[in-house]
Amino acid sequence: MRKYQEEIYNALAKKAKAWGGSNSVVKTNKNVSEVYYYGNKIAVVNHDTKCATFDNCGYNNASTTARINAVKEFCNDYGYNY
Q: Quick one: pLDDT at residue 1? A: 86
Structure confidence by residue, pLDDT tens digits, 21-77: 889 999 999 999 999 999 999 999 999 999 999 999 999 999 999 999 999 999 999
Structural domain count of the chain:
1
pTM: 0.95
Neighbouring residues of 13: CB distance < 8 A, sequence distance ≥ 6: 74, 78
Range of the domain at 34: 3-78
Edge-to-edge strand ranges of the sheet holding 18-20: 18-20, 24-29, 32-37, 40-46, 51-54
Q: Is 2's pLDDT higher than 90?
A: yes
Output 72-75 pairs: Cβ under 8 A, ≥24 positions apart: 73/1, 73/5, 73/9, 74/8, 74/9, 74/12, 74/13, 74/45, 75/45
